[in-house]
Structure 1
């Protein structure tokens, strides 16, 4: 979180800096937990698409400071590097790669996770249909890994973009979890399509052994799981009994900060330093080239 941003008057943005969170998204997980008690009884946790690490910060505080759980373990995975967080094992890895699955299982000494979450999202293009499709594929990739590492009865939470055919995803998830709920935290802007799918009580499919393979697509991975039509994008006109409408719940205190509003700060405004400097900013290479004199503007 830098000093300058279009969100600089967003009070969640400022509160994140004041409270030491790396990003305002920490409040989304906190508000989801207030509604669903996601952290109750958890010990082994996997945070997918974790950078810059605000959700891992929340989980670290919960397991080690609030619960004081001596057996707690948190593994955070992202393609981007992450600055270390107390009690969190960070893996710079691809969530679709079998080696990543094995590295997580090695960290847990072969045991399975109680809770898997993903706050990942693509760089949005503004083309809603494309953004929704890419996000759905990202969720399915996270779900692939989740089915391999989540214990029966466990919980899966992931960011979604609500679109025209989101109920197809709800339908697939309902085969794997007892309850599937769409939740909108107060800290998530109402003007955004963003929401979070909360999947409770994982139920592995009978006689299906999920196996993560490098050359398999998400369609092929779930082909034998019998969780609805595998090629669902080719069958959008499904009968009503194959479509699922997930319960929608708004999370967070209605009297709390409105994430779509801007506020005037009273008195002199203090500029707060970033909690975490970028670990691999896109402009880093350009700065290095400039120092070497290799960056020349064409005349």
Structure 2
């Protein structure tokens, strides 16, 4: 044991002194890059999460951003959808070096702390709180003129339990909470995009949304795994009822519905299902070899060994790690305990 630890020291693990740096292996990192092509692509293009491609692909189909100057991102952390809004609205041609649009206002809301994003106002708050609504509207206010949002997006989802009925129910309640704040900050004619879990009772959710939006679609982006029940509802032309009261949203979420009401064919609401994104592009469920991304689509990745000087795969770290994760205290305690163990073994080997 003494020789083994001395060998680790002589081999450069501590460089002659104890170190608190954890041992890291690239095996797991490379494995995830193989299994999730959009995760890898997001890191290489500067997105905080792979979900950015979902909003981009929905936009390809529905043209969400034309004419939009005020937008709200609910349940925004870690901020990939806010990044999309920033690049598409605030600096629509920033990749070409053009200046930002000073008329654009983007507000991102989440319970968790978020790292800053250019052109985005971050609001740490509860989307069910009236104070959060007031803060969002306050960011949109221009002088004495109140301004409402043109677009509200929400990619929020609960931590799934594996019990599909329960997960679907909790997600539906989260969506209704997002719909509640949307009815208070969205202008008439505006657009609402939110994540849903497709299930046997999703038709009820469509019916509830159709109370406020005459045009409702179910969108499935190419970057969303086929094995996942997630989809996105795209609701357009916000038209609240004349006698609408915000409290009515709470009544919708607490109303008891008879099973017969949902099972009858006449009671079901059917909305168009739209597949978004290039269907010949990357497959979210497929494993890919570790080759440069352009070579994967061109079919050249497995044709021949890489030529001298050709581009090769390079691992990229995630663009934005969690700011204040709930597990941070645990990791710090683990790292501190590991350092004490390694230090004691190092001293014993001397």
Matched, 1:279 2:323: yes
Q: TM-score, normalized by length of structure 1? A: 0.88
- Report matched runs for 1:179-190 at 5 Å: 179-190=215-226
Change (3 A) 1:13 1:291: closer
**In 2, Cα distance between equivalents of 1:5 and 1:129:** 34
Aligned partner of 2:285 in structure 1 is 260
**In 1, Cα distance between equivalents of 2:148 and 2:201:** 32
Query: Of the candidates 56, 59, 63, which is equivalent to residue 89 of structure 2?
Result: 63
Residue 288 of structure 1 and its aligned partner are, at CA, apart by: 3.7
Change (3 A) 1:191 1:291: closer
2:33/2:290 contact within 8 Å kept: no
Aligned partner of 1:163 in structure 2 is 199
1:99-134 per-residue CA deviation (whole Å, 9 max, x = no partner) reads 000000111113111000100000001110000000
**In 1, Cα distance between equivalents of 2:283 and 2:332:** 40
Aligned partner of 1:236 in structure 2 is 259
2:86/2:92 contact within 8 Å kept: no
Gaps of 5+ in 2: 1-25, 94-99, 292-305, 307-311, 342-350
Query: Of the candidates 110, 131, 136, which is equivalent to residue 104 of structure 1?
Result: 136
Q: Any idea what SS the aligned residue of 1:103 has?
A: helix
Matched, 1:177 2:177: no
Change (3 A) 1:259 1:290: closer
Question: Between Structure 1 and Structure 2, how many residues are aligned?
Answer: 283
Aligned partner of 1:201 in structure 2 is 237
**In 1, Cα distance between equivalents of 2:160 and 2:31:** 16
Residue 181 of structure 1 and its aligned partner are, at CA, apart by: 0.3
Bigger proportion of residues as helix: 2
C-alpha RMSD of the superposition: 2.4
**In 2, Cα distance between equivalents of 1:102 and 1:200:** 24
Bigger proportion of residues as strand: 1
Q: Any idea what SS the aligned residue of 2:227 has?
A: coil
Q: Which has the larger radius of gyration?
A: 2
1:230-250 per-residue CA deviation (whole Å, 9 max, x = no partner) reads 615x32321544320111010
Aligned partner of 1:148 in structure 2 is 184
Residue 6 of structure 1 and its aligned partner are, at CA, apart by: 6.4
- Report matched runs for 1:22-41 at 5 Å: 22-41=48-67
2:30/2:315 contact within 8 Å kept: no
Q: Any idea what SS the aligned residue of 1:275 has?
A: coil
Q: TM-score, normalized by length of structure 2? A: 0.76
Residue 69 of structure 1 and its aligned partner are, at CA, apart by: 3.3
1:114/1:151 contact within 8 Å kept: yes
